[in-house]
Amino acid sequence: MTKNVSLPERLDATFLTSAPDLKRCPPIVSAEVAFAGRSNAGKSSVLNQLTGNRRTAKVSKTPGRTQLMNFFDVRSGGRLVDLPGYGYAKAGKEAQ
């Protein structure tokens, strides 16, 4: 038995800002979904898949490339937040 399965709509998201710490985060105006996990786990790639755009969030094969919290506004409402990974990174100790 085969069911018709429709794919979910892609999110229309645009880059808002980056923040190095919580004090510099933009004010919360609606729901936020944050992507957290180990370095090089694919957080930025998942965000790009949700938006259907390979360039929404920068992706790299180098662990620790995302070093700031990156905020993206979703046109239909809400916000996506790409967080830096934890664990192994090729960034310097100060950046980690």
Q: In this model, does residue 26 exceed pLDDT 90? A: yes
Residue 34 has what pLDDT? 96
Q: What phi and psi, each to the nearest 5 degrees, are found at residue 14?
A: -125, 145
- Does residue 7 surpass a pLDDT of 60? no
Higher pLDDT residue, 94 or 13? Answer: 13
| Per-residue pLDDT tens digits for 49-75 | 999 988 898 888 888 778 899 999 999
Question: Is pLDDT above 70 for 20?
Answer: yes
d(CA 40, CA 42): 6
Domain residue spans of the chain: 13-24+31-82
